Amino acid sequence: MLTYSKEVERALKSNQPVVALESTIIAHGLPYPENLKLAAELEEIVHSLGATPATIGLIDGEPVIGLNQEQLELMAQGEHIHKVSVRDLAIAKAKKLHGATTVASTAYLAAQAGIPVFATGGLGGVHRDAKETYDISADLLSLTETPLIVVSSGVKSILDIGATLEYLETASIPVVGYRTNRFPGFYVQDSGYSLDWSIDSPKEAAAIFHAQREMQNNNALLVANPVPEEYALDAITHEQILRESLTELNNQGIHGKKVTPFLLKYFKEKTQGESLTTNLELVKSNVRLASQIAIAIKEKE
């Protein structure tokens, strides 16, 4: 059911390291042409470290593992690019729609393709009002059935991080901090929550990945990689803006899918664009680490 670019197909057949990348950040995360520029930068990072990038998306309903330049431009400029999670894949296929894959669907398709590592920015999680709305990201559920490594900078601080970590523990999703025993909070290096486990090198992540496969554990491994210190938001400023944004959210009665876009825009405005720079740099950092892990996995095979 999958279509592969020639480069990705060649890399997989020759057992070379491949890193999966999502397309939602291109279609819905940034305006054009900044989104297309970022897509090229992320793929270049993977290439420069000796791995093959596989940006995943849907073209006319068909899952494509490794979007080419024309397809990336379509994702960046297209007016009717649907945001497609796992539940939407069959619908998009039947309707022959163009779709940008979320964390959940990218992980799902990457696992189907046999790609062991996926890099993203921040994982979705349990929303702060989940007790009333049951708003829990499909990203978390997808990790219970995708045997791969997901590298992210934790989850966005606008979510209920404590509840998200509890969900991950209940779902038996192993979480390791990369050179830290604190769970990162996307814009900030420390969300305020500790982790039971940490690793110091890509080789350690590869070793855990292989141990999971040997034990027939098909859950994902979440590698929590804090945003580089020089790009992290000031913790006090971050907390102040977060409180203000949540108050404004309630005042305007915003809920559901509109919550995250509103809060991200609020942060961007209040930090005069600094939060956007933080977002871009943490994604690049995660792609670098994911590439190193992908290479380590192949070296250990």
Reading the block at residue 217, the tokens are 């554990």
**Tell me, what's the pLDDT at 266?**
92
Confidence tier at 79 by pLDDT (50, 70, 90): confident
Tens digit of pLDDT for each residue in 219-240? 999 999 999 999 999 999 999 9
Find residue 188's DSSP bridge partners.
185
* pLDDT value of position 128: 83
- DSSP per-residue string spanning 235-261: HHHHHHHHHHHHHHHHHHT--GGGHHH
- In angstroms, the Cα distances linking 204 to 110, 172, 245 are 21, 19, 38
pLDDT at 208 over 90: yes
Please determine, for residue 203, whether its predicted confidence score (pLDDT) is greater than 80.
Answer: yes
CA 186 – CA 275 distance, rounded (Å): 10
User: Which burial class, exposed, middle or buried, applies to 273 when counting CB atoms under 10 A from its CB (0-12, 13-18, 19+)?
Assistant: exposed
Is pLDDT above 70 for 77? yes
Looking at the DSSP bridge assignments, the partners of residue 149 are 117, 221
pLDDT of residue 112: 97
pLDDT at position 249: 86
Its pTM surpasses 0.85: yes
Contacts of 242 by beta carbon, 8 Å cutoff, 6+ apart:
157, 158
Q: Which of 6, 9, 22, 93 is catalytic?
A: 22
Q: Is 156 a catalytic residue?
A: yes
Average pLDDT over residues 103-127: 96
Mean residue pLDDT of the chain comes to 94
CA-based diameter of the chain, in Å?
A: 56
How confident is the model over 205-225, as a mean pLDDT? 97
Of 13, 156, 203, 265, the catalytic one is 156
Residue 247 is predicted with a pLDDT of 92
**Confidence label for 131 from pLDDT (cuts 50, 70 and 90):** confident
Residue 134 pLDDT: 83
pLDDT confidence of 166, banded at 50, 70, 90?
very high
Flag whether pLDDT at 158 surpasses 90.
Answer: no
Q: Is 23 helix (H, G, I), strand (E, B) or coil?
A: coil
Q: How far apart are CA 43 and CA 210, in angstroms?
A: 25
Question: Domain with 21 in it: what CATH number?
Answer: 3.40.1790.10
| pLDDT tens column, 9-67 | 999 999 999 999 999 999 998 889 999 999 999 999 999 999 999 999 999 999 999 99
Q: With beta carbons less than 8 A apart as the criterion, state whether 231 and 284 touch.
A: no
Q: What is the pLDDT of residue 257?
A: 67
Structurally, the chain folds into a number of domains equal to: 1
Look at residue 174 and tell me whether its pLDDT is greater than 70. Answer: yes
Share of the chain above pLDDT 90, in %: 87
For 238-274, the pLDDT digits (tens) are 999 999 998 998 899 887 667 777 888 899 999 999 9
Supply the pLDDT for residue 127.
85
> How confident is the model at residue 285, as a pLDDT?
98
Q: Which of 67, 17, 16, 10 shows the shortest CA–CA distance to 40?
A: 67
Would you call 203 a catalytic residue per the annotation? no
Please tell me the distance from the alpha carbon of residue 146 to that of residue 149, in angstroms, as a whole number: 9
Domain that residue 264 falls in: 3-300
